[in-house]
Amino acid sequence: MEKITSLAKRRGFVYPSSEIYGGLAGVYDYGHYGVLLKENIKSEWWKSMVQLRDDVYGLDSAIFMHPQTWVASGHVGGFNDPQVDCRNCKSRYRADHILEGFGIPADKMPLDFLNTELDKLRAEKKLVCAKCGSADITPAKSFSMMVTSNLGSPVDSLTEENVMYLRPETCGGIYLEYKNTLDSLHPKLPFGIAQVGKAFRNEIAARQYIFRTREFEQMEMQYFHNPTQTKELYEMWKEVRWQWFLSLGIPAEKIRWYKHEKLAHYASDAYDIEYAYAFFGGSFKEVEGIHARGDWDLTQHAKFSGVSLDYFDEETKIRFVPHIMETSVGLGRLFLMFLDNAYTEVGEGDNTRVFLKFPPKLAPIKCAVFPLLKNKPELVAKAREVFALLRKDFMCEFDDNGNVGKRYRRQDEIGTPFCVTIDFDTLGETPALKDTVTIRDRDTGEQQRMSISELTNYIRSVIL
């Protein structure tokens, strides 16, 4: 964990938010390479979910939505976590997580059950604050995970009817734009709507780096279909999403399916894809959920809005409310998964080489270009020429700081697949090698000589 977080900060992937003011718990900023990695992950997801499919359409819905949206969805009344506090040091904890640490299943259990179990631990002198050791722990109470805003109304006049929320998940916007998508694009069932966007949750204790944050991005797809197709389509989407992880270099032995035994009242099936994070000591943790949600979402929004969200099947002449299949993945969790999977050390002691073995298509920088020596204008000019050529097609870097070995190490630590060095042979010192360069492979460290005219096609062939 310390190695990855240190590298991520040192090399400009992830920074603590507001660090000069002491930071803000559960909030992180993404630096230059972090942004590039995120965009590449999003691009691969979008390509798989929208670009290469005929049955999924894109959307970018607003973060703010009508307040009744969250009443209809059940978030206002039921989007809560059980909170306990240490009266001594003011630390906050989730009651269900405390109980699960003692082997007591507590996920989604009512407050009465949680407090009964907490009282047993209290009587046994086992309930103490993990931070200060105090036994002065409050009973569990309901903690709303909804983040409120005063958009459109003064803070002192907020009521349940007009309070504005920052969306806790992105799928709400998809449900509200189902009808507009149907009316404007005229898709036939089954079809999906996909989007990438920010969501906000008022987590009690966000202490797992970027795995669990209060502001995060989701990539979600809601697939509308005839309920007679649910079982078939569910298996189809499970296979599609599983193969996506494998296609981006995640080993099959590092992911697994987790089947939910306790389902939401509207769901007929729910599986998670879990990844074994070395970051968390090899523990499997959820990265994506695939859920069969039934017709509950559209039915609720039709009921609260008064607008019909039925679908009329022209072939069967039957009108019905479509059922929904959902795939939902947190971008921060994927980011950490790819970072975790890529982190590689070879060698020992002072000879240890650290590199991020990203799939080339995900790597923030595809190619770095070096002049062999920075004090030789003719080498620098030629290197700039090659850099200008390659950056038209790839995200590249020019680096002439320090010796070539140190430059290799820097590029290794940000996961750059290729480093191109311009030397005196490039300029024609050896006539047979004129206009050729040395290109180094990140994973093997091996170098080969290649003509400048071949570089673009070679790099493209590896990346794609």
Domain termination site, one of 121, 144, 167: 144
Domain termination site, one of 100, 116, 144: 144
Domain containing residue 47: CATH number: 3.30.930.10
Domain count for the chain: 3
Q: Mind spelling out the 3-state secondary structure of the chain? A: CHHHHHHHHHCCCEEECCHHHCCCCCCEEECHHHHHHHHHHHHHHHHHHHHCCCCEEECCCCCECCCHHHHHCCHHHHCEEEEEEECCCCCEEEHHHHHHHCCCCCCCCCHHHHHHHHHHHHHCCCCCCCCCCCCCECCCEEEECCEEECCCCCHHHCCCCCCEEECCCCHHHHHHCHHHHHHHHCCCCCEEEEEEEEEECCCCCCCCHHHCCCEEEEEEEEEEECHHHHHHHHHHHHHHHHHHHHHCCCCHHHEEEEECCCCCCCCCEEEEEEEEEHHHCCEEEEEEEEEEEECHHHHHHHHHHCCCCCEEECCCCEEECCEEEEEEEEHHHHHHHHHHHHEEEECCHHHCEEEECCCCCCCCCCEEEEECCCCCHHHHHHHHHHHHHHCCCCCEEECCCCCHHHHHHHHHHHCCCEEEEECCCCCCCCHHHCCEEEEEECCCCCEEEEEHHHHHHHHHHHHC
Query: Does some domain include residue 225?
Result: yes
Query: Does some domain include residue 353?
Result: no
* Same domain (yes/no): 310, 390: no
Structure tokens at 214: 């209060």
Domain containing residue 379: CATH number: 3.40.50.800
* Same domain (yes/no): 181, 291: yes
pLDDT of residue 101: 87
pLDDT of residue 162: 66
Query: Does some domain include residue 112?
Result: yes
Q: Specify which residues 82 forms β-bridges with.
A: 142
* Same domain (yes/no): 140, 160: no
Q: Domain of residue 100: give its range.
A: 80-144
* Same domain (yes/no): 158, 240: yes
Mean of pLDDT over the chain: 91
> Among candidates 462, 452, 351, which has minimal Cα distance to 416?
462
* Same domain (yes/no): 27, 87: no
Amino acid at the residue 326: E
Task: Please determine, for residue 430, whether its predicted confidence score (pLDDT) is greater than 90.
Answer: yes
The top-scoring range by mean pLDDT among 98-102, 320-324, 345-349 is 320-324
* Same domain (yes/no): 118, 48: no
Query: Does some domain include residue 446?
Result: yes
Q: How far apart are CA 263 and CA 241, in angstroms?
A: 21
- Cα torsion 296, 301, 302, 308: sign: negative
Structure tokens at 271: 């599986």
* Same domain (yes/no): 122, 173: no
Query: Does some domain include residue 192?
Result: yes
* Same domain (yes/no): 276, 166: yes
Query: Does some domain include residue 359?
Result: no
- Quick: pLDDT tens for 63-94: 988 888 878 887 776 677 788 989 998 888 88
* Same domain (yes/no): 171, 295: yes
* Same domain (yes/no): 238, 177: yes
Percent of the chain exceeding pLDDT 90 equals 71
pLDDT of residue 78: 65
8 Å CB contact between 422 and 367: no
* Same domain (yes/no): 52, 189: yes
From residue 354, alpha-carbon distances to 339, 347, 409 in Å are: 13, 9, 8
Domain containing residue 95: CATH number: 3.30.1600
Percent of the chain exceeding pLDDT 70 equals 97
* Same domain (yes/no): 187, 255: yes
Query: Does some domain include residue 346?
Result: no
> Among candidates 278, 302, 399, 290, which has minimal Cα distance to 5?
278
Q: Classify strands 396-398 and 367-371 as parallel, antiparallel or unpaired.
A: parallel
Half-sphere exposure (Cβ direction) of 35: Cα atoms closer than 13 Å: 6
Lowest-pLDDT range of 44-48, 208-212, 435-439: 208-212
Query: Does some domain include residue 351?
Result: no
Domain termination site, one of 306, 341, 376: 341
Query: What's the pLDDT band for 96 if we cut at 50, 70, 90?
Result: confident
- Quick: pLDDT tens for 165-179: 888 889 999 999 999
- Quick: pLDDT tens for 111-162: 889 999 999 999 999 999 988 989 999 998 887 777 788 776 555 555 556 6
